[in-house]
Structure 1
Amino acid sequence: MGLNFKFIEGSASYNTAEVFFARIDPTIASTDELLKSIYYLLWFPGYFGFNWNALEDCLTDFNWLSESKIVIAHDNIPKIDERDLQIYLEILNSSVLDWKQNDQHDLEVVFQKKDEKLIQKLLSL
């Protein structure tokens, strides 16, 4: 499976009148913090279970958002356990691919160019 992420140099910026934009806090240092942050940033429904399965379910739904394009930007890779980071990246990658086959929403996940090799390594394990 290839990478379905966008890699850039510098801070991502989008017209928030045209896209739903969420920037992941670069200081996140635990899986719990990451899941809570995503819950609030992406306006997940109250039934969100704060676990990887719930994250995958919500990232492939988005029926509560009216915007067709959703962008999740990372200025840094979250500083979480390597196995959890791998799971997170796999969920993001498969969710982007899932939306490519559906015209209701377009999910774009952005990382920094400097992190591309590490992400490739983690997703090839």
Structure 2
Amino acid sequence: MSDGPDAVLVAEILDATERVAAYIAGEGRDGFMQQGIIYDAVCMNLLRIGECARFLSDPFRGRLPQVPWPDIISLRHRVAHGYETLKPEVLWRIASVNLPELGDILRRLGDA
């Protein structure tokens, strides 16, 4: 990947995915569900990811059609404006399955 605004945003997204992985690694699903601080930390990084995704260029997002960019951006809005309506089970799946997949896709792009 070249330098520029998209590269900076991708680095931010990768940092956020790695932070989430670290937060949930030690405590697992139960810790995520029971410890508000882990839940809140994951939500904060979902905000970061969605905000960065929103500012990625259309050509960059077009290079990764398998990534559900609109869903990622929409989740940012749900976390920010509908926090009380979030479903912890859905957020757990995103944190434990979808974010590692996103991180892998972005890292492979950087290797290309």
- The alignment's TM-score, normalised by the length of structure 1, stands at 0.28
* Structure showing the higher helix proportion among its residues: 2
* Structure showing the higher strand proportion among its residues: 1
